[in-house]
């Protein structure tokens, strides 16, 4: 398969590329890195990405930022960061990709454990992750031509603990290589409308 991986240079993306790159052709994309450049916040940029990539069988998004901060100080502008980037960025990939993906192709998006297991300062992350999962469940029943869509919801990664540990006390961090298996199941399996929790 030819797989377009957005966020290929990130912590999750590198592990996904290592898992799937042995069996498939990976086209890596990112905002400032990768074979192709894209800003997923812009639908026009995403459409240009698909033109440059050519026909692909799978799209994986391991890109997405949200703002973390105390609820008492959160502003609408700070919520908009996650809504525009992690939520609409991934939605933009599906909006543009549904028209150009090869028949039977797949989308795999990324949410995160805080959808259901919240942490302090994570109200935007929980909100956005829940929306990504709801979007995918619904898109799955409308996508044409046998296209599939799933979401991977990782726990905090072992590889990210250096920065995130204080916010995830009591969570059992998972290795990125184990999270990557869920992306493999989504791309190489047959299911659709699923949320794969690697918690
Ligand atoms: N790490 C964890 O413990 C963890 C746990 C649960 C969920 N997640 C979720 O998994 C996803 C990836 O996390 P990560 O830790 O791997 O992040 P990361 O290391 O910061 O990597 C993010 C990647 O996304 C790309 N990117 C960011 N904004 C972009 C944009 N507007 N357009 C295109 N590409 C963009 C970056 O590209 P450049 O490098 O080129 O800028 C980078 O390759 C996020 O949604 C995160 O919330 C992570």
Structure pTM?
0.98
Q: The domain 2-198 belongs to what CATH superfamily?
A: NAD(P)-binding Rossmann-like Domain (3.40.50.720)
Confidence of residue 103 (pLDDT cuts 50, 70, 90): very high
Tell me the three state secondary structure of residue 87: helix
Which residues on adjacent β-strands are paired with residue 59? 4, 107
Q: How far, in Å, CA of 19 to CA of 60, rounded?
A: 13
Encode pLDDT of 29-77 as tens digits. Answer: 999 999 999 999 999 999 999 999 999 999 999 999 999 999 999 999 9
Encode pLDDT of 157-173 as tens digits. Answer: 999 999 999 999 999 99
Q: Using a 6 Å cutoff on CB, does residue 85 contact ligand 1?
A: yes
Encode pLDDT of 11-22 as tens digits. Answer: 999 999 999 999
Confidence of residue 88 (pLDDT cuts 50, 70, 90): very high
Residue nearest atom 29 in ligand 1 by C-alpha distance: 31
Burial degree of 69 (CB within 10 A; 0-12, 13-18, 19+): middle
Question: What integer pLDDT is reported at residue 7 of this predicted model?
Answer: 98
Q: Using a 6 Å cutoff on CB, does residue 28 contact ligand 1?
A: no
Q: Using a 6 Å cutoff on CB, does residue 140 contact ligand 1?
A: no
Q: How far, in Å, CA of 168 to CA of 99, rounded?
A: 39
Tell me the three state secondary structure of residue 194: coil
Q: Using a 6 Å cutoff on CB, does residue 38 contact ligand 1?
A: yes
């Amino acid at each position: 398969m030819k797989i377009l991986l957005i966020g290929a240079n990130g912590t999750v993306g590198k592990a996904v590329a290592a898992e799937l790159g042995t069996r498939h052709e990976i086209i890596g994309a990112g905002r400032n890195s990768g074979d192709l450049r894209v800003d997923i916040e812009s639908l026009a940029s995403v459409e240009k990405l698909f033109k440059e990539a050519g026909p692909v069988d799978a799209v994986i998004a391991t890109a997405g930022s949200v703002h973390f901060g105390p609820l008492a100080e959160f502003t609408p502008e700070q919520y908009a960061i996650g809504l525009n980037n992690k939520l609409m960025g991934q939605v933009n990939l599906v909006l543009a990709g549904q028209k150009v993906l090869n028949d039977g192709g797949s989308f795999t998006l990324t949410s995160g454990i805080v959808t259901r297991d919240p942490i302090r300062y994570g109200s935007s992350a929980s909100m956005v992750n829940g929306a990504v999962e709801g979007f995918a469940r619904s898109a799955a029943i409308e996508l044409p031509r046998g296209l599939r869509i799933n979401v991977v919801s990782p726990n905090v990664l072992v590889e990210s603990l250096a920065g995130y540990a204080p916010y995830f006390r009591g969570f059992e961090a998972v290795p990125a290589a184990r999270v990557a298996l869920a992306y493999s199941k989504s791309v190489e399996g047959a299911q659709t409308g699923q949320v794969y929790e690697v918690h």
